Copies of this chain bind each other. A is one copy, B any other.
Amino acid sequence: MKNVKVIVWGMGAMGSGMAKMLMKKKGVDVVGAIDIGAKVGKPIFEILGEEYPENENIKIGTVEEVIQEKAADVVLLCTDSFTAKAFDKIKLIVENKMNVITSAEEMAFPQAQNPELAKKIDDLARANGVSVLGTGINPGLIMDVLVLVMTGACEDINHITSRRVNSLSPFGKAVMEEQGIGISVEEFEQGKADGTLAGHVGFAESVGMISAALGVELDEVTQSMDPIITDEDRVAPYGEAKAGSVAGVSMKASGIKDGKELIEMDHPQQIEPEQVGVNTGDYVIIDGNPMVNMVNSPEIEGGVGTIAMCVNMIPQTINARPGLVTMIDLPIPHAILGDFRDQIQEEAKIVK
């Protein structure tokens, strides 16, 4: 078998992280990379800032140059958060008969917010004999797959709490702006009202995955977003919040079944949480038979986690039946320390 061929679409933090990770792995090659603007035409090592003797120094190309029929086994699409924005790109990749893995948060379970687009993607993927997966650290692992895996040990469940308390300090300027770090409470409320502050994208998808897997139809899912107002000045590498301003966003969601909360999602994100005595961590708390009381502390860092999840799911996506697939349809995620080709099944959709 030839090496698994991968195209990376979007050379921001996520895409270039995936390209770097792939270059350290065996049996897999980055055969193309796509970006826009000044990056087009530049050698990939100029963008990644590193090289490996066995890796070809390909050039960053345009969509038209790189997305060709069967040019790769899989395209890692890291350009969007929302299904509607990613749809045309996914369509183009699929029609060129390549599998897709995307970090777009809504694509982790597009059935939740875009059932019609999900159906279209499923139809397109089936017609072209390829698979489309959305994954990442969250949604994709911490607040859905990990929760579900622990329910596997349960006979019955009364209530689930999924909590991710994380630090925004490692993130760059873009995330600081998206999350409203340092703005006033009035600006926060304005941004929330006019939709310019999205906060975490993924609750609908995580709750959707959990309820679909459990086989429960929820009555309703409510969601809230509130500012985390700091009472002391906080300074992170790429953002700061003066006392009285916004140091982060607290998001909660609640999945109701038969008038009672079945699923509670709790996701406060802020800069410098340790400064105010907040310990970060990922929690799965299940009131059921048996009880589950799990914490991973500190939390799994979102950037590297998303990069790893997208790369590590390459074999499962290539091996999958054609169509739109989700993390609840595929074999368990895991790291790959050996050769990627050993993880591909004989009958899989590999470019021959």
Contacts and interface: CB of A to CB of B under 8 A. Distances in A.
A331 B157 CA distance: 20
A298 interface: yes
B213 A334 contact: yes
A152 B335 contact: yes
Interface string A161-202: 000000000000000000000000000000000000000000
**Oligomer copy total:** 2
Given A295-B295, A343-B215, A334 B151 contact: yes
A161 to B, nearest CB: 14
B338 A149 contact: no
A343 B150 CA distance: 18
Scoring A142, A146, A290 by chain B CB atoms within 10 A of each residue's CB, the highest score goes to A290
Nearest to A147: B334
A308 interface: yes
A211 B307 CA distance: 22
Scoring A145, A292, A337 by chain B CB atoms within 10 A of each residue's CB, the highest score goes to A337
A342 B308 contact: no
A24 B156 contact: yes
A16 B154 CA distance: 16
B156 A332 contact: no
A63 interface: no
Given A294-B296, A312-B152, A214 B335 contact: yes
Given A300-B290, A304-B289, A335 B149 contact: no
B294 A295 contact: yes
Interface stretch (A42-50, A121-129, A322-330): A322-330
Contact of A152 (B293, B328, B332): B332
Nearest to A327: B332
A193 to B, nearest CB: 35
B304 A293 contact: no
Interface in A299-352: 300-301, 304-305, 307-309, 311-313, 327-340, 342-343
B294 A336 contact: no
A154 B149 CA distance: 18
28 contacts: A24-B156, A137-B153, A141-B152, A148-B332, A149-B149, A149-B332, A151-B333, A152-B312, A152-B333, A153-B305, A153-B308, A155-B304, A155-B307, A155-B311, A213-B332, A214-B334, A214-B335, A215-B336, A215-B338, A215-B339, A215-B342, A216-B338, A217-B338, A282-B294, A290-B304, A295-B295, A330-B332, A332-B332
Interface of A: 21, 24, 137, 141-142, 145-146, 148-157, 213-217, 282, 284, 288-290, 292-298, 300-301, 304-305, 307-309, 311-313, 327-340, 342-343
10 interchain residue pairs of minimum CB distance: A215-B338, A152-B333, A151-B335, A148-B334, A294-B296, A153-B305, A213-B334, A154-B335, A214-B337, A155-B308
Given A151-B333, A292-B300, 7 more contacts: A151-B334, A156-B337, A215-B337, A293-B296, A294-B294, A328-B334, A331-B331
